[in-house]
Amino acid sequence: MTSREKKLNKKADKWQTELAQSITSVHELEKKICLSETEKTNIELITKIFKIRITPFYLSLMDKNNPDCPIRKQAIPSLEELDFKMEELEDPLGDDRYSPVPRLTHRYPDRVLIFPTYECATYCRHCFRRRIVGRNDQEMTKEEMKCILTYIQNHNEINEVILTGGDPLLLKDEVLKELLLKIRSIHHVRILRIHTRLFVTLPHRITHELKSILKKAKPLYIVIHVNHFNEISAQFRRAVRGIAEAGIPILSQSVLLKGINDDVQSLRKLFSGLIEASVKPYYLHYCDLARGISHFRTPIQKGSELLKQLRGSVSGLCIPYYMVESVGGHGKVPVLYNCFKVNPQLCWGTHRV
């Protein structure tokens, strides 16, 4: 190994060290931020049901003395997570209903989602897949990978494969490489896509080696989950730059979250910040009807109203589509502000929130 290679390798390991140093219990957390006795008891209670994990990097973005910090609210549990609402569902997106083989969802004819892992570097308190993310730690087995590939191979209507999860970039380089290249070798698959949050929570993951793996899988799109301007760190920008230089387009998806980004000023900063970082805002999602996240949910109309206010005062590049997931896994519906009408059949439940 040359010394340059050694140096690169060392850097490559850094993300795993960082991940291993993540906070996963209230005892570790109380050493880092101020918590009252009640908070500690509550967090302990919740983490028995929904795991906690925060990378040191994501923690460093947090204003530790401010309970309203948008980063803190996304990563530190609150008791409201145990307050399940009537309209909330175990599987609001119908991931399981449309799953012909384990770890694959085929809901739209031309696209499939695959879930190579259900692990994330930091668990979002608003996670829409919380029924499984952070609960099932098992990575995809060789057998499961084989079944997924056979399914895709046998369905030539599939032209796009989306790696999601969990965070697919938590896979080890060799596994990710094998998976991407095997999918790439299926003739009718034209486009690959990766949904990730690591640019925000673990930007060290975007290594030289990773870039070269992703380059081989082109045409490939990356969609980053990012919800607040404070998540666009210098490290985020650097990671994006590296990927963009590899000729891989980068988009973002955000979730509209009460008290975090549900005002014009926050969204303007977020979306223009993303555009400046060369990331195109793709979707703004209405907070899904997953269990225990009603404290993050806004009324449906809020999203379209906010985008209406943004339109005209920022570049059109900054404006994503506002998407509402129809209950029962019938798909995403774009909600437009100038022809806004909720079909109660499609989006029931939400007007009661």
Q: Distance between CA atoms of 171 and 180, rounded to whole angstroms?
A: 11
Residues β-bridged to residue 281: 252
Partner from ligand PLP, ligand SF4, none binding residue 199, C-beta < 5-8 Å depending on class: none
Instruction: For ligand PLP, give the closer residue by CB, 89 or 113.
Output: 113
Partner from ligand PLP, ligand SF4, none binding residue 105, C-beta < 5-8 Å depending on class: ligand PLP
Tell whether residue 129 is a contact of ligand SF4 (CB under 6 A).
yes
Instruction: For ligand PLP, give the closer residue by CB, 282 or 348.
Output: 282
Q: Distance between CA atoms of 263 and 266, rounded to whole angstroms?
A: 6
Instruction: For ligand SF4, give the closer residue by CB, 128 or 229.
Output: 128
Q: Long-range CB contacts (< 8 A, 24+ apart) of 39-45?
A: 42/77, 42/78, 42/79, 43/76, 43/77, 45/79, 45/82
Partner from ligand PLP, ligand SF4, none binding residue 288, C-beta < 5-8 Å depending on class: none
Among 104, 120, 145, 248, binds ligand SF4 (CB under 6 A): 120
Which residue sits closest to ligand PLP, CB atoms considered? Answer: 107
Q: Distance between CA atoms of 165 and 163, rounded to whole angstroms?
A: 7
Query: 301-320 b/e with 16+ CB inside 10 Å = b?
Result: bbbbbbbbebeeebeeebbb
Instruction: For ligand SF4, give the closer residue by CB, 196 or 266.
Output: 196
Residues β-bridged to residue 290: 89
Tell whether residue 168 is a contact of ligand SF4 (CB under 6 A).
no
Partner from ligand SF4, ligand PLP, none binding residue 166, C-beta < 5-8 Å depending on class: ligand SF4
Helix, strand, coil fractions of the chain, as percent rounded to 5: 40, 15, 45
Tell whether residue 123 is a contact of ligand SF4 (CB under 6 A).
yes
Instruction: Tell me the three state secondary structure of residue 81.
Output: helix
Distance spanning both ends of the chain, measured CA to CA? 59
Region from 34-42, 90-98, 164-172, 341-349 binding ligand SF4, contact rule CB under 6 A: 164-172
Instruction: For ligand PLP, give the closer residue by CB, 164 or 266.
Output: 164
* HSE (side-chain half, CA atoms, 13 Å) at 65: 0
Partner from ligand PLP, ligand SF4, none binding residue 73, C-beta < 5-8 Å depending on class: none
Among 51, 72, 106, 197, binds ligand SF4 (CB under 6 A): 197
Q: How far is CA 72 from CA 123, 156, 224, 282, in A?
A: 12, 44, 19, 25
Q: How far is CA 51 from CA 121, 172, 199, 324, in A?
A: 11, 22, 21, 26
Question: Are 94 and 238 contacting, i.e. CB atoms less than 8 angstroms apart?
Answer: no
Tell whether residue 225 is a contact of ligand SF4 (CB under 6 A).
yes
Q: Least separation, in Å, of the C-beta of 140 and ligand PLP?
A: 18
Among 75, 114, 133, 176, binds ligand SF4 (CB under 6 A): 133
Contacting residues toward ligand PLP, per CB under 6 A: 93, 105, 107-108, 111, 113, 162, 332
Q: Least separation, in Å, of the C-beta of 281 and ligand SF4?
A: 17
